[in-house]
Amino acid sequence: MIVSGQASVPAPREQLWAVLSDPAALAQALPRVDLVSIEDGHRFSAVARPVTALGETSVALDFEIVEQRPGEYVRIVASGRSGENLLALSIALELADDGERTAASWRAEIALRGVLSSLLQRGIGELLRDQVESVLAAGAALSGADRGR
Amino acid sequence: MSTPSGETTYYGEVEQSERLGAWSGKSVPRKEDKRLLKGQGAFVDDLWMHRQGHVHFVRSPHAHARIISIEVSRAEAVPGVYATLTGEEVGELQQPFFQMAPEPAGLMRDYCMAVGKARYMGEPVAAVLAESAELARDAAALIEVVYEPLEVIVDGIATIERQAPVLHEEIGSNVAWHGVYDYGDVDWALEHADHVVRIDRLHFHRFSSTPLETTGALVNWDPGTGVVEFRSNNQMPMFAAMFIGPAIGLGIDHMQFSSQDIGGGFGIKITSYTYLTALALLSRKAGRPVKWSESRWEHLAASAHGNERTFLDIEVPVMSDGTILGFKVRAFDDAGAYLRYEPLGAVIWSQVVPGNYRFKHIRVDYTETLTNKCPVGPNRGYSRLQHLWLIERIVDIVAKELGFDRVALRKLNYVQPEEFPYETPNGCVYDSGDYPAMLEQALELIDYEGARARQLAGAGSGKRIGIGIGSTLDSGTNNFGQSRIINSALPFSGNGEAAVVRLDLYGEITVTIGTSPQGQGHETTAAQVTADILGCSPDLVHVVAGYNKAANTYVGFSGTYASQFAVTGLGAVMGAAERLRGEIVKVGACMLGAEESDIELADGFVRLAANPEAAIPFIGIAATVFANVAELPGELADSVTLNCRYVYRPPFTVPDHETKRGKLTLTYASQVHAAVVELDEETGQVTILDYAAVDECGRKVNPKIVEGQVHGATGHGIGAALYETFEYDSDGQLLNSTFGDYHAATSLDVPHIATGEVECPSPFTPNGAKGMGEGGGAPLSTIASAIEDALPPGAHVVYDSHNNAERVYELLRSAAAAGPRGVEVISR
């Protein structure tokens, strides 16, 4: 499934990028996600706990930043497992100046195997959109916090 | 008796019992309801055994994948986890299940869990046994399964192409069975017909039953006796035994099956033997009872689905007066990943080759295929509803394309009332019926003329009215000899059911039956016929609830399936009750010093017909035989047991493997449904405005139970027609395996159903009854028919049995698109 979206983020692009390219900051920004470990500057692991019809579902994910143009573009792939379910995700995020704000556009391709493919087929788009928008909003907040320091 | 041609001998009419009538035929309140309505039923999840553990199955997320490894150590290390079982172990502990298919499909190595390869999403690959269901589920998440994903095939036709990935290497292709059913001379008919209607493609979709109670079992392998106790809701335990026994080395004497109440089955619970096998192996390994209750998503994703069938290249020869001579078709039936009940579906449909019609020339080129989807199993109207839907589509499309009135066309082509018993082109014999009268009644119930007027008046309003008709059959009481049409080596033929009726020590009348009812009211109807024969009230007859192999009698195909209880089950009860009656009369005559011919049974007494005051209660007869036997002459004492078993056997012969002809089933109940629907032109939404179901099932034993079955089958069919469909993506992922996405019809979706009846007693059954309850899928035909009637001129034919708003919207738009309509007519 391919999900895409756009957002206008109330933060300068460089500051937003600083948050998004920092796995520790990124994990902090992701709602219902716990950072497990940072392997290096490109790879990290996390546990996501999306809420589905079955309740909170724990998904262990390995992330890798596979492509980036600092300040402009990043593509992250993730693969994970939740019980008997498998998940694969590729998400590309593009940033552009928009006055004092940042114009963000993103496109994600997600594949699920197992019961989640059924449970989430109608909800995955919204779930992912919520996650991305939450990250951007949190990124904006964090960058704002940086500015305030 | 002879056919219309005057040549064939039928079964012969059966002498019908004169004793039925005091209770049979009346809507006696269901005995079962006393406990069920008070919440006192006993279902699988209500059962408990000391030391039991709970099972969770780990299932493949892939539709097709090689299993590289399964690591269970982390799960086994969790406190409270008793044992695990993997496919690899199963490969060593179990022989592949017996296959009914001939080779090469008969070479399939099917196990209770995936061994080496997973072939559908949701297939069990491992199992965990733990002290609670929750712990078992959590521990299952710790089992590491490494898969190598393989190419997936989900298309039931493309799967036979050379480049398609092969599911079972030992078979060498994805063809499970292929055969040509050729009756009459369809080539002659196509050559000489005034018109030939060609339909490109029709598709019958995949859906299922959604019983309130999902599959489950409590299984204990007793290490001391070696007896395995299966307390389950399997609906055909002796069939299950046939697969489980050889697979894990158990004789029938070491398998104990029981069930009490079953919360719906509809056929889907026949093939749960794979899970029962896995549970038995796990119980043996752990040395403790194991319990498993399927979750709803497991049920929808991995129990069994109904057969999906695609019909290609349909050709229909039609004469100028509207006589339809027959049809020719290529059918592809998608069995999913394994043959759990298949390829029986490849022959079961041929019980109803011409449907309700006098078609003489029929050729069906039938291929059953394997795909990376959940295996199919019997599902209400099994294998026949697909074929009957095809026939009803043919009739409607012929009417529309050639300008015939669809009512008149049906009446012209129906088997006529005076033609019964009617022999079909493949040698089946329809016992009785009156389809034109049923159609008249159905049309009256929906106010056909009024609906036509509403249709005209509504033109241009944005709401399009359509009127639909569905005429179907419910063939009941299988001749298992039809299995030899698909595999001549199979050692099955005929059919039967067993019952025991006994007069117990204190005068109680107790009935045990071989069936395992799931809501059909067997306790009530068995009590009704027993009461009639023994001259007492049904309240005095105790029909043992459910099924218990140790206590109940049984034969090889005992169970509840194939619309047969009213004939085989009650036939057995009637036979056993008659035997008991004979013994009671003998003893009573002796005690009263009278001739047997002077005796009558009434109100629970044996009495002299000429002097009812001279009477002995049943308890007196029982007490004498069981406790005061020296009072009886030795010869009489030796000849009575008051414990009478009877096996009812329909008069079947073995069908012919080569010609694929034979008497495949005993009775033919029928349904004619009619509906008025409204299509919203903007959204494609279908609203049922009126619905009528007219049923004919011979002499009814309990009309209220029949009506309940009609309502259930109609609701199920309406759900399938408009809401219920399994959607797989190209990766074999089932996209709707919860009730959030799989919309099972509820009371909110099913309109008021006006019911009607026509009674044509079967001449072939001892009580005049016919099996019923499956309903032939009439709503699927009726709704498709109504939608087509509502479509604007030039629209594509209704090509699918499932018509949700999206599909109807496309059909509505197809008229303006002026593209191919999926049909052409060649006229001479």
Cα of A149 to nearest chain B Cα, Å? 44
Whether B397 is in a domain gets the answer yes
Output the pLDDT for position A120: 67
pLDDT at A116 over 80: no
- Residue B640 and residue B520 in one domain: yes
Domain at B71, CATH number: 3.90.1170.50
Output the pLDDT for position A144: 66
pLDDT, average across residues B29-56? 96
pLDDT at B6 over 70: no
Interchain contact, B61 vs A111, CB within 8 Å = no
Output the pLDDT for position B441: 98
Measuring CA to CA, how many Å separate A91 from each of A14, A88, B194, B298, B599? 20, 10, 62, 31, 88
Domain at B543, CATH number: 3.30.365.10
pLDDT at B503 over 80: yes
Between B88 and A34, where is the model more confident?
A: B88
Structure tokens, A105: 């556009």
pLDDT at A53 over 70: no
Measuring CA to CA, how many Å separate B35 from each of B38, B41, B521, B523? 5, 6, 13, 12
pLDDT at A149 over 90: no
Chain B residues with CB-CB distance to A59 below 8 A: none
Chain A residues with CB-CB distance to B62 below 8 A: 86, 113
Domain termination site, one of B632, B648, B664: B648
Whether B327 is in a domain gets the answer yes
Whether B122 is in a domain gets the answer yes
Residue-wise pLDDT tens digits, B186-216: 999 999 999 999 999 999 999 999 999 999 9
pLDDT band at B166 (very low <50, low <70, confident <90, very high): very high
Interchain contact, B297 vs A118, CB within 8 Å = yes
The whole-angstrom separation of Cα B647 and Cα B500 is 9
Structure tokens, B13: 């009419």
Whether B160 is in a domain gets the answer no
pLDDT at B160 over 80: yes
Longest alpha-carbon distance in chain A: 46
Q: β-strands B605-608, B124-130: how paired?
A: unpaired
For residue B95, the surrounding DSSP H or E stretch is: none
User: Any CB–CB contact under 8 A between B59 and chain A?
Assistant: yes
> Residue type for B385, please?
L
Closest partner residue to A83 (CB to CB) among B122, B140, B731 is B140
pLDDT band at A126 (very low <50, low <70, confident <90, very high): confident
- Residue B705 and residue B777 in one domain: yes
Domain A2-142 indexed as CATH 3.30.530.20: yes
Interchain contact, B297 vs A115, CB within 8 Å = yes
- Residue B502 and residue B379 in one domain: no
Interchain contact, B733 vs A113, CB within 8 Å = yes
pLDDT, average across residues B234-246? 95
pLDDT, average across residues B279-296? 97
Tell me the residues of A at the B interface, defined by beta carbons under 8 Å apart: 53, 82-86, 111-115, 117-119, 121-122
- Residue B287 and residue B363 in one domain: no
Interchain contact, A117 vs B733, CB within 8 Å = yes
Output the pLDDT for position B7: 43
pLDDT, average across residues A58-70? 90
Q: Is A107 exposed, middle or buried (0-12, 13-18, 19+ CB in 10 A)?
A: middle
% of chain B exceeding 70 in pLDDT: 99
- Residue B339 and residue B359 in one domain: yes
pLDDT, average across residues B335-359? 97
Domain termination site, one of B598, B621, B648: B648
User: Any CB–CB contact under 8 A between B183 and chain A?
Assistant: no
pLDDT band at A118 (very low <50, low <70, confident <90, very high): confident
Interchain contact, A117 vs B141, CB within 8 Å = no
| Angle of CA points B196, B198, B200, to nearest 5° | 175
CB-CB contact of B455 with B466 (8 Å): yes
- Residue B189 and residue B257 in one domain: no
Whether B7 is in a domain gets the answer no
- Residue B594 and residue B531 in one domain: yes
CB-CB contact of B369 with B159 (8 Å): yes
- Residue B125 and residue B254 in one domain: yes
Cα of A10 to nearest chain B Cα, Å? 37
pLDDT band at B698 (very low <50, low <70, confident <90, very high): very high
Closest among B14, B15, B20, B13 to B581, alpha carbons compared: B20
Chain B residues with CB-CB distance to A117 below 8 A: 61, 121, 729, 733-735
DSSP per-residue string spanning B464-492: EEEEEEEEEEEEEEE-GGGHHHH-TT---
Among the listed ranges A39-53, B414-428, B546-560, which one has the minimum average pLDDT value? Answer: A39-53
Interchain contact, B58 vs A84, CB within 8 Å = yes
- Residue B531 and residue B632 in one domain: yes
Output the pLDDT for position A37: 85
Closest partner residue to B741 (CB to CB) among A84, A113, A122 is A122
User: Any CB–CB contact under 8 A between B146 and chain A?
Assistant: no
Chain A residues with CB-CB distance to B736 below 8 A: 118, 121
Residue-wise pLDDT tens digits, B452-475: 999 999 989 999 999 999 999 999
Closest partner residue to B61 (CB to CB) among A53, A113, A122 is A113
CB-CB contact of B699 with B693 (8 Å): no
- Residue B643 and residue B659 in one domain: no
Interchain contact, B301 vs A115, CB within 8 Å = yes
Residue-wise pLDDT tens digits, B422-445: 999 999 999 999 999 999 999 999
- Residue B313 and residue B348 in one domain: yes
pLDDT band at A146 (very low <50, low <70, confident <90, very high): very low
Residue-wise pLDDT tens digits, B628-647: 999 999 999 999 999 999 99
Among the listed ranges A126-140, B292-306, B612-626, B789-803, which one has the minimum average pLDDT value? Answer: A126-140
Q: Count CB neighbours of B623 within 10 A.
A: 17
DSSP per-residue string spanning B177-243: EEEEEEES-HHHHHHH-SEEEEEEEEEEPP-----SS--EEEEEE-TTT-PEEEEE--S-HHHHHHH
pLDDT band at A75 (very low <50, low <70, confident <90, very high): very high
CB–CB contacts below 8 A, A to B = 54
Chain A residues with CB-CB distance to B732 below 8 A: none
Among the listed ranges B193-202, B246-255, B547-556, which one has the minimum average pLDDT value? Answer: B547-556
Structure tokens, B690: 């009126």
Closest partner residue to A121 (CB to CB) among B62, B140, B741 is B741
Cα of B711 to nearest chain A Cα, Å? 30
- Residue B459 and residue B593 in one domain: no
Q: What is the span of the domain harbouring residue B59?
A: 47-150+213-263+269-302
Q: How many domains does chain B have?
A: 3
Chain A residues with CB-CB distance to B734 below 8 A: 117-118
Domain spans of chain A?
A: 2-142
pLDDT, average across residues B761-771? 95
Whether B297 is in a domain gets the answer yes
Chain A residues with CB-CB distance to B140 below 8 A: 83-84
Chain A residues with CB-CB distance to B60 below 8 A: 84
- What interface predicted TM-score (ipTM) does this complex get? 0.80
Interchain contact, A84 vs B731, CB within 8 Å = no
Whether B489 is in a domain gets the answer no
Closest among B310, B383, B316, B394 to B350, alpha carbons compared: B383
Residue of B nearest to A83 (CA): B141
Measuring CA to CA, how many Å separate B639 from each of A113, B583, B644? 67, 8, 12
Output the pLDDT for position B10: 59
Chain B residues with CB-CB distance to A121 below 8 A: 735-736, 741
Q: β-strands A59-69, B175-183: how paired?
A: unpaired
Alpha helices in B492-569 (DSSP H): 522-534
Between positions 148 and 177 of B, the ones with CB within 8 A of A are none
pLDDT, average across residues B691-705? 97
As a whole number, the mean pLDDT across chain B is 95
pLDDT at B233 over 50: yes
Pick among A54, A117, A124 to test the B interface (most B CBs inside 10 A): A117
